[in-house]
Structure 1
Amino acid sequence: MKLRGSEVCVSLLVCVSLALADLSPPQNLSVQSLNTQYVLRWDWADDQQSAINGTITFTAQYLSAVYSRKPTHKQKWRTVCVDVLEQRCDFTDAGLSYWGIYLLRVRANTAQQFSNWTNITFCPDKEADLGPPSSVKLTSVKGDLEIVIADPLSCTNESMKTLVHDMQYLIHYWKQPEGYQKAEVLKTQNNVVTLPKLDRWTGYCVRVQSRYDFYNKTSVFSDKHCTRTEGLIPYWQIFLYFLLSLGVWFLLGLLVWFSFYKVFKSFKSIFYPNVQLPPHIQEFWLSDSETPHLLPPPCSGSVWDQLDMISAETDTVPDIQISIPEDQDTSVPSRHGSGDSGFNSTEEDSSLDTHTDTHTDTHTDHRCKTDTQHKQEMHDGTLEICA
């Protein structure tokens, strides 16, 4: 039997409608969550339909469970992802409450048709995974170990304790080189914990896990942190530290003293130069104070021609040279005067010699007395000035 043209067209449209209605919906929906980060994932792998219908995209929406009981036309689904090529949709910034319950759904799209919706129920408080502490610090304090634990953080960098009030920490600690199989366990809600009863001068390792017992949530463990406990300082170390500090202070004091000495020497050389006086002036200043430093005044009415320096310690009296003043009367008869006889001359000479000897003896006696007196009064090494 032959078909008319109109019948053929109707048959083709029915076939196309059947083909479009057979577009498979996404399958195996799941939510990967950590603290407040939520990502919806699904599977869709019908390559034959992709080749027939062209490019396949996906649309994802959510609805609060409170509004799911209303009629379909009154339900207000919020779209998060539209025509995405990936088989995932991030609901982190969708505004889902951590204590709420939501319906999530996704469907496949083409340019001409779309598949049915596939739904999943999601409760973050119950199903979202709990993350480990954001940081763990381990320090040795007075022979014990102090652990500082930072809370897990939400997507807005807020502590998860504001959302999970009963969150606790499970601490594992063990000695080195032993493994975590022999670890001691400590459970606490505090962020600062001190591990007691530890061996002195021993290495320990620590790791921490977050827990929420109401829904039996446990996070993965944090990274391993290791340190060494301390104890009382041995006496030999105290003595060694004392010697080292003493040496350092000694070197420091020596350096300060040397610097002060160099500065003082520089100032002294500037303001008080080291100039040597001539030797004869130094001898003049260093001589005895009782030694006369000036020549004695000459006798009144006479002028002396010659001075002799006589040591006070010398016993022998040197020859004395007498100079007759010019203004003194020297009228002595000449030995060769005219009209005088040789006898007279001889007598005059002997008389003159006798006078001279007498004067000499008198002067000598006076000089001896003077020497004796000066010997008693003057110190050793002084000089007498005689005329």
Structure 2
Amino acid sequence: MRGQLDDALQLAFARARAACAHAAPDDELDLFFATLREAVDAALANTTPRRALPRSLATERIIERVRLEFIVAVHAVAREHASEALDVLAALGTIQQSPVGEEGERLNEGYLASDRVAVELTTEIAHDVRSPLTAILFLVDTLRSGRSGPIAPAQARQLGIIYGAAFGLNQLATDIIDHVNGERLVESAPVSFSIAELLYSVRDILAPMTEERQLEMRLSSVQDDGRLGFPAPLHRVLLNLAANALKYTARGSVSISARQLDGTRVAFTVADTGPGIPRRVQARLFQAFRPGERDDRRLFSSSGLGLTICRDLVARLGGELRVTSTAGKGTKFSFELDLPLAGSPA
């Protein structure tokens, strides 16, 4: 192997080894990475390695980590040695693994423990971040409303920008917490609620953002307003969809509507007059932590958490979240739910 590529691979192994420091005891990791390097060298030389790697989740993740680190390390010399670099990546992708043994089980246990710690820490941070952000939202809304004294139009606009930024961060923290909580987001039993009041609540929460962006928020509800269902997750879905619509709409309006269908079914729609979502990304729109091109991030969130949670919540409520979008004309998210009239049997 060329010297520069060998140096890049050595650097990739060193960085991957450092990243996996807590996955298993040092001596086991040293043996594992030595075996992996032998497997890579053997694959490049079309020979059989002396030892086989354990087949485990940890093995696959470590190999992928080495691949990513190698891509970063080899970037500076990739043009000169492009074909050799591709050979290394191909070798990393074709390494044969043996049935999982004690070493593989220990690596898996270490990775699972690390994942649990990471999830718990991330959730705690999200909780800690959300508390002060909620206070910021309350204080900004108090200032904007004039309850603390009159403010100038320029100050109202500036407070609207602050509110929008804090709301976005608060939603991200909430998305992280909800992504971890999963099925606990839906109440155990349906309750009576007003669809119109739910829509008004979403509008009022987003009013500072709507005014700051100089957009119009349109609402439309059903005639038979009192329903039996799960208002908290429904509110969560509509709030998230409407907030996204406001964020990516430069002019025009955002509308939230509830429309009576046959029987007890109600169709909910959140539509905007924004730029639309490119067709090439609509297929992965509901994918959490989705990859995306830099230009796409102007049109939709790159994390994908909010929409993933919305899709899952709608599914748990018995519906299916759909999206239709036309470039230059806007985007529409819609779903249907069975919501019996309040007072009728569930």
TM-score (norm 2): 0.20
Higher relative contact order (CA 8 A, sep 6+): 2
TM-score (norm 1): 0.19
**Whose helix fraction is larger, Structure 1's or Structure 2's?**
2
